[in-house]
Structure 1
Amino acid sequence: MSITLTPDQQEWINARIASGEFASVEQAVRQLIDERIAELSIEEDDLAWAKPLVDEALAQVERGEVLTREEHQSRIKALLASFKD
């Protein structure tokens, strides 16, 4: 495959190669494409996997299985204090 970069793109990549961010133009292009693919995968995620977790959390709230902010902070302080001993 042959890809032609614009002068601005080439300058940008060359600057990053010079700084050591990339070893070559090929590595830069591959990494940038991989990063974009990962971004799109995240954007396309409908979060269906999270629904059972949210449903369980809501059920816990309905059952009163919650901590106040103050209770949580108190537990965290006690936990941190136990590490100092």
Structure 2
Amino acid sequence: MRIRLTPEQESSLQVYVEGGRFASVEAAARQLIDVGLMELDAETDDLAWAKPLVDEAREAVARGEVVTLEDHRAHIAKLLSTLEK
């Protein structure tokens, strides 16, 4: 399959190639198409895959398996203090 870019698109991509961001205009186009496809997939994702994870988290909360924000911050502060020594 061949895709024709507009002169403006090709010029814009060439700037990124010259700046070292992409190896070639073709590589840039492929990567940008991949990103666009991921965004389309994200728009149509119904998040059904997340339901078991949410259910598991709710069950953990119901069992009292939680950490308060204050306890978490204290734990992180303690860890950081050991790194500073």
Q: TM-score, normalised by structure 1?
A: 0.73
CA distance in 1, matches of 2:29, 2:23: 11
Per the alignment, in what secondary structure is the counterpart of residue 52 of structure 1? helix
Change (3 A) 1:33 1:81: same
Distance across 1 between alignment mates of 2:59 and 2:15? 53
Question: In structure 2, how many angstroms separate the alpha carbons of the residues matched to 1:11 and 1:35?
Answer: 20
Structure 1: gaps of 5 or more residues: none
Name the structure 2 match of 1:68. Answer: 68
Unaligned segments of structure 2, at least 5 residues: none
Mapped to 2, the partners of 1:23 and 1:66 lie a distance apart of 48
Compute the displacement of 1:82 (Å).
4.2
- 1:23 — aligned with what? 23
Alpha carbons of 1:83 and 1:23: their partners in 2 closer, same or farther (altered >3 Å)?
closer
Identity of aligned residues (%): 53
Name which structure has the greater RCO, CA cutoff 8 Å, separation 6+: 2
Alpha carbons of structure 1 residues 23 and 77: separation in structure 2 relative to 1, 3 Å: closer
Paired positions, count: 85
Question: What is the root-mean-square deviation in Å for CA atoms of aligned residues?
Answer: 2.1
